[in-house]
């Protein structure tokens, strides 16, 4: 039963991170607007957006680590989530690095309607360093969230049922 509780914590922590990042990025994109998310007249992400994405990933990872350790009942869940983020992040980096680039994407609309934002997944070009940094800082954030819970509640009992 311990294994399944730890696994449940990892899965729940990952789902929490994914939901928080999705909601945060959606809200951030709409609040900042297309001209702050992208470089003018292109699909390349701006430095403002890149910094926002880094900060958001650390915050979400912290709460994901906290969630994993809390629901998993032990710090192993938080560390398992850190490993999962490292593995899935590395896979995403490999996919992004080898993804074919559309050399002639359609022009980015100056003001983006809700339907226009769906094109960002296909045409947006964040830098590779952002993916590497987000993954690395995400692992650090998960471990920090796990350790914070350890200190807050006292040592998570490794031998509890």
pLDDT in tens, 74-120: 788 899 999 999 999 999 888 877 776 666 778 887 777 777 777 77
- Percentage of the residues of the chain whose pLDDT score is greater than 90: 44
Q: What is the pLDDT of residue 100?
A: 67
Per-residue pLDDT of the chain (161 residues; tens, 9 = 90+): 788 888 999 999 999 999 999 999 989 988 988 888 888 888 888 999 999 999 999 999 999 999 998 888 778 889 999 999 999 999 988 887 777 666 677 888 777 777 777 777 778 888 889 999 999 999 999 999 998 887 776 655 554 44
Fill in the DSSP letter of residue 111: S
How many C-beta atoms surround the C-beta of residue 116 within 10 A?
12
- Percentage of the residues of the chain whose pLDDT score is greater than 70: 92
CA pair distance 27, 79, nearest whole angstrom: 29
* DSSP element (H, E) containing 31: helix 2-32
Per the prediction, the chain carries an average pLDDT of 85
Q: What is the pLDDT of residue 161?
A: 46
Q: Are 108 and 37 in contact (CB under 8 A)?
A: no
């Amino acid at each position: 039963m311990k294994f399944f509780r730890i696994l449940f914590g990892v899965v729940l922590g990952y789902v929490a991170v994914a939901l928080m990042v999705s909601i945060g990025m959606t809200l951030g994109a709409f609040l900042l607007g297309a001209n702050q998310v992208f470089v003018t007249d292109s699909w390349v992400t701006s430095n403002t957006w890149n910094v926002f994405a880094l900060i958001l990933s650390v915050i979400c990872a912290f709460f994901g680590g906290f969630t994993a350790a809390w629901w998993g009942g032990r710090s192993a869940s938080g560390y398992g989530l850190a490993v999962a983020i490292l593995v899935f992040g590395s896979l995403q980096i490999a996919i992004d690095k080898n993804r074919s680039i559309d050399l002639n994407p359609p022009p980015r609309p100056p003001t983006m309607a809700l339907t226009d934002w769906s094109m960002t997944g296909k045409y947006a070009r964040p830098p590779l360093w952002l993916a590497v940094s987000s993954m690395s800082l995400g692992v650090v954030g998960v471990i920090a969230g796990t350790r914070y819970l350890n200190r807050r509640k006292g040592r998570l009992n490794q031998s509890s049922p």
